[in-house]
Structure 1
Amino acid sequence: MALDHGILLETGTNEFEIVEFIIKSDTKEHHFGINVAKVREVIRFPEIVKVPDAHPSVVGTANIRQKLIPIIDLAQWLELKYDEDYKEKKIIVTFFNHQYNGFVVDEVVRIHRITWADIKDYSSITDFSLVETVLGVVDIGGNLIQLLDFEKIVLELNPETGLKDIEVDYSKAPQREGKTVYLAEDSSVIRRFLHSHLEQSGYTTFSFENGKLLLNKMKEQLPDLVVTDLEMPVTDGAFVVKTIRSHPDTRDLPVLVFSSLASEENERKVMSVGANRFIGKPDTDILVNEVDKYLI
């Protein structure tokens, strides 16, 4: 089942869509969700080739549409169960951070449209063993759907896909002095990493864990440039861009989007609501140079 991304909701409404899927353990069904923007298609379990010395959760690789894609047993990763009987299972094929992956699940239920404000803090979930891998939860029809941090899962499976070192030209520090950058990023690791490098390069930097906090700060003081993630709780990056462009005082403010949802389609969508630049994670190495282009 391929997903038609052309029918998705309007960009900048603070809404998004999730694919609900189920993983069955010995005692219960666990309902999870993934952002539709990360999903390419859902397929039956394919023929796989075992990979020597691979992570135990990687059951092998499969040739899917002429691409060699790692197949990851999500239940094993989450330590819910270990089951090698895959013939009735489904694969959610994803694309983010410039790479494809396939995740083994028991059942794919349906697509739901929700807002970022619907997501509750993960501390309210009952599966406390999963807390570090859950971004948040949403209650739909009495089912508690847990939104998994797929970027964290892939990073731990393949650390080489992580953040790239940033080489900063410190000779430009005097030119950066007095320029203020606002950064919205829900990942604390990425937020600290980017904040540190922007500050070290000479920019005055304020960082926020979601778009709402950034927009609230702009009511007090305007920055010289905004860097924002797309996927964030409460208020997402596309809504941030659209809001900035809707006010005369900020209509010309440079806005850079930094997101794992790197595709021509997503770039087109955020550019259509007014972003100046789309940078795909994990290309952190070019971020300071891109900020320099607009402020120096």
Structure 2
Amino acid sequence: MAGILDSVNQRTQLVGQNRLELLLFRLDNSQLYGINVFKVKEVLQCPKLTIMPKSSPVVRGVANIRGGTLPILDLAMATGRTGLDDLKNSFVIITEYNSKIQGFLVRSVERIVNMNWEEIHPPPKGTGRDHYLTAVTRVDKQLVEIIDVEKILAEVAPTSEVISEGVIDVESQAKAVSKHVLICDDSSVARKQVVRCLETVGVEVTALNDGREAYNFLLKMVEEGKAPEKELLMLISDIEMPEMDGYTLTAEIRGDPRMQKLHIILHTSLSGVFNQAMVKKVGADDFLAKFKPDELAARVIERIRVTDGG
């Protein structure tokens, strides 16, 4: 699969335009799936795997790739299907999520498509609670499902959600009760993690599923004559979301004088220096990699102190 991924520099041109590139792949011979190319470091034929005793069944083994040892997760098994059996003819998509690198075992890799986030939609209502989708779209009239990788990773290797002792002080917690934070994230797991963290701090939380919902929420607020920067302590937004991504949401907010003073933190599983540059470009106040409860709580507490002049 050499050459399937273009240089990052070319792909950065899409960001801020509510666009993305999807790498299409299959877990069997029917359904088509997609993953944001920004999460993908490399695609290769499945290497030799070493079985890891006592690991999750989803982890088919570890592989030595570019001098590092990476866990290889079977995406079919992780989403409730039968695991892939023909490893020799399968592929591994090397990805980076939440500053961790892992490989996803898939049946085949097809191609990269350039899309607009407006063409990416939330899963249909009635899909149920236990599905593994964050979004769906269509490519050449074929349904493409986008898997909730954060949910899979949380099940295979759960992240601690406990806030360390000493991060939250009594004074800030007392002031937090009168504060309201808006969050948006298309991953149900990520949303719940953030909500639990913020509720521990003590603030009121409104949690929405994507950038479009958040933007409409803010529009309604300003149409009612309210100032978002006074009503809300901050907005904590994911970057990759159907309908409207976090970069575009931030740019829209900054472009509207009625809401442009709202404090915005982009909270994402996307890693790297590139995000720091994009945060500056679209005008966000801060960037935080997922999921670090101590850091997230500390940012909220810091904001409480600033707004209260303490």
Give the AA of the match of 1:78.
T
Which residues of 2 match residues 120-269 of structure 1 at below 5 A? 120-123=121-124, 132-159=131-158, 161=159, 163-165=161-163, 167-176=167-176, 178-219=178-219, 220=221, 221=226, 222=228, 223-269=232-278
1:15-55: CA deviations, max 9, x gaps?
A: 2111001222xxx4221111111111101221222211222
**Contact 2:235 2:265 survives alignment (8 Å):** yes
2:271 is paired with a residue whose SS is coil
Distance in 2 separating the partners of 1:50 and 1:194 = 34
Report the CA distance shift for 1:133/1:188 in structure 2 as closer, same or farther (over 3 A): closer
Q: CA deviation at 1:122?
A: 2.7
**Contact 1:122 1:134 survives alignment (8 Å):** yes
Give the number of aligned pairs: 290
Q: CA deviation at 1:12?
A: 2.2
Report the CA distance shift for 1:164/1:19 in structure 2 as closer, same or farther (over 3 A): farther
Q: Which runs of 5+ in 2 are unaligned?
A: 306-310
**Contact 1:169 1:201 survives alignment (8 Å):** no
**Contact 1:210 1:232 survives alignment (8 Å):** yes
Distance in 1 separating the partners of 2:252 and 2:236 = 14
Q: CA deviation at 1:281?
A: 0.6
Report the CA distance shift for 1:77/1:192 in structure 2 as closer, same or farther (over 3 A): closer
**Contact 1:50 1:59 survives alignment (8 Å):** yes
**Contact 1:211 1:240 survives alignment (8 Å):** yes
Give the AA of the match of 1:6.
N
Distance in 1 separating the partners of 2:128 and 2:184 = 28
Residue 12 of structure 1 pairs with residue 21 of structure 2? no
Give the AA of the match of 2:267.
F
Which residues of 2 match residues 32-43 of structure 1 at below 5 A? 32-43=33-44
**Contact 2:84 2:106 survives alignment (8 Å):** no
1:46-82: CA deviations, max 9, x gaps?
A: 1222211222222211111122101122233334434
Q: CA deviation at 1:100?
A: 0.9
Report the CA distance shift for 1:130/1:91 in structure 2 as closer, same or farther (over 3 A): farther
**Contact 2:70 2:101 survives alignment (8 Å):** yes
Q: CA deviation at 1:241?
A: 1.1
Q: Which runs of 5+ in 1 are unaligned?
A: none
Give the AA of the match of 2:135.
G
Q: CA deviation at 1:290?
A: 1.0
Task: Give the TM-score of the pair, scaled to structure 1.
Answer: 0.87
Report the CA distance shift for 1:286/1:129 in structure 2 as closer, same or farther (over 3 A): closer
Distance in 2 separating the partners of 1:197 and 1:83 = 36
**Contact 1:78 1:130 survives alignment (8 Å):** no
1:110-133: CA deviations, max 9, x gaps?
A: 1112222222343379xx799611
Distance in 2 separating the partners of 1:131 and 1:116 = 24
Distance in 2 separating the partners of 1:162 and 1:89 = 32
Report the CA distance shift for 1:79/1:217 in structure 2 as closer, same or farther (over 3 A): closer
Distance in 1 separating the partners of 2:119 and 2:195 = 28
Report the CA distance shift for 1:148/1:193 in structure 2 as closer, same or farther (over 3 A): closer
Give the AA of the match of 1:203.
V
Report the CA distance shift for 1:180/1:78 in structure 2 as closer, same or farther (over 3 A): closer
Greater mean deviation of Cα atoms: 54-63 or 78-87: 78-87
Report the CA distance shift for 1:286/1:82 in structure 2 as closer, same or farther (over 3 A): closer
Q: CA deviation at 1:232?
A: 1.8
Q: CA deviation at 1:152?
A: 1.2
2:95 is paired with a residue whose SS is strand
Identity percentage of aligned residues: 29
Match of 2:31 in 1: 30
Task: Give the TM-score of the pair, scaled to structure 2.
Answer: 0.83
Match of 2:54 in 1: 53
2:88 is paired with a residue whose SS is coil
Report the CA distance shift for 1:176/1:165 in structure 2 as closer, same or farther (over 3 A): closer
Report the CA distance shift for 1:117/1:153 in structure 2 as closer, same or farther (over 3 A): same
CA RMSD of aligned residues (A): 2.6
